[in-house]
Structure 1
């Protein structure tokens, strides 16, 4: 597939259905591109679609089935948009760090593909608004979905969620949580090598079942 260069071709590209509820167009808006006049369009549309499909099918669809409508804050970034954002302090990592993350149409240094979206789940925020409550959702994802990385932010518990061919399975946060020792902190909740990384974390997220039907995560679960 060639890079879209006309309104008609971009319209057709945006209509590509990545999963049951998500289309490519859902992921193309960029505040940086809108304000600074860039076109946020993949150079390699086929790779962007392939990586985005896995993000949607494996992560976003199960989340939406369980927790309600997902709001996409930002997702795909072209190399041009991300590079400008990185150099102008718009909270974008350097391009090389964002390949196979926000830059869906570039493989990382090891040749692996991936895709990131920053999302908000309004029904979760409404049900669990207190400081540190985001960890319930984080641990549920850790135990139930094939994510690579999660990074949580303070406003509306927005978070980056990444699908990757070689998942890291790491959770970080700029928003606080309360440790078992009663300490309020930010940073890394878990990563490989941490004592809390392996095993079942049901006690951390079981309160979710009071509000949400967690069985909906799996398509083959009888409704």
Structure 2
């Protein structure tokens, strides 16, 4: 599949089903692209679809099965969209939180391999069920540890608003969790004692829909 060059071709890309409940169109919305008129379209649709299916089937669908519907806040970014956001971020403009293109390859930029040749895909999502609990004082680490113990994620990064988090699928998973929510910093990564501990006490009151 080539990069869409017509509305019809873009519609066809959007109709590609990535998993039971997700379609490619669900991941192409961009506030930066919308506001500044920059198309958020993959250069390599086939690679974007391949890694998008992994992200959805192995991570997002299991999250929905367990906690109910999840909301996608930000997902695929074209190099043009991400690069523009990164330049605005570098210039100190508020509202632009994009890292460099190179650091987002196999992350938010699904259709590029990273510097080591690995593929990957990131989506920033909100779990509404947990967002309500978080607003009432729940600790973000309970959700982080549940994901760590149940899903084959590569990296997680948690944010204060709605307890949204970046969740990444990678062909070479890191198994690392970081957060901007207190306690800030790295929660776990390979080599830390807590990486393989029993974390069940953190989420004993979580319901199971599976």
Q: TM-score, normalised by structure 2?
A: 0.94
1:221 maps to what in 2? Answer: none
Is 1:99 the counterpart of 2:86? The answer is no
Instruction: Find the partner of 1:134 among 136, 140, 150.
Output: 140
CA 1:130/1:172 → structure 2, altered by over 3 Å: closer, same or farther?
farther
- Map residues 58-97 of structure 1 onto 2, 5 A cutoff: 58-89=58-89, 90-97=96-103
Distance in 2 (alpha carbons) for counterparts of 1:132 and 1:110: 38
Q: Distance in 2 between matches of 1:130 and 1:186?
A: 19
1:111 aligns with 2:111: no
Query: Which position in structure 2 is the counterpart of 1:44?
Result: 44
2:54 corresponds to 1:54: yes
Q: 1:203 offset after TM fit, Å?
A: 1.3
SS in 2 for 1:69: coil
Q: Distance in 2 between matches of 1:165 and 1:13?
A: 23
Greater CA deviation, 195-204 or 58-67?
A: 195-204
Unaligned runs of 5+ in 1: 177-184, 217-223
1:194 aligns with 2:200: no
- Report Cα offsets for 1:55-108 as digits up to 9, x if no partner: 000000000011010100000000011011111011111111000000000011
CA distance in 1, matches of 2:69, 2:133: 14
Shift of 1:157: 0.3
CA distance in 1, matches of 2:168, 2:63: 13
Residue in structure 2 matched with residue 32 of structure 1 by the alignment? 32
1:131 CA displacement: 4.2
What is the CA–CA distance in structure 1 between the aligned matches of 2:78 and 2:134, rounded to whole Å? 34
Give the TM-score taking structure 1 as reference length: 0.89
| Cα shift at 1:205 | 1.7
Secondary structure in 2 aligned to 1:88? helix
Structure 2: where are the runs of 5+ without partners? 90-95
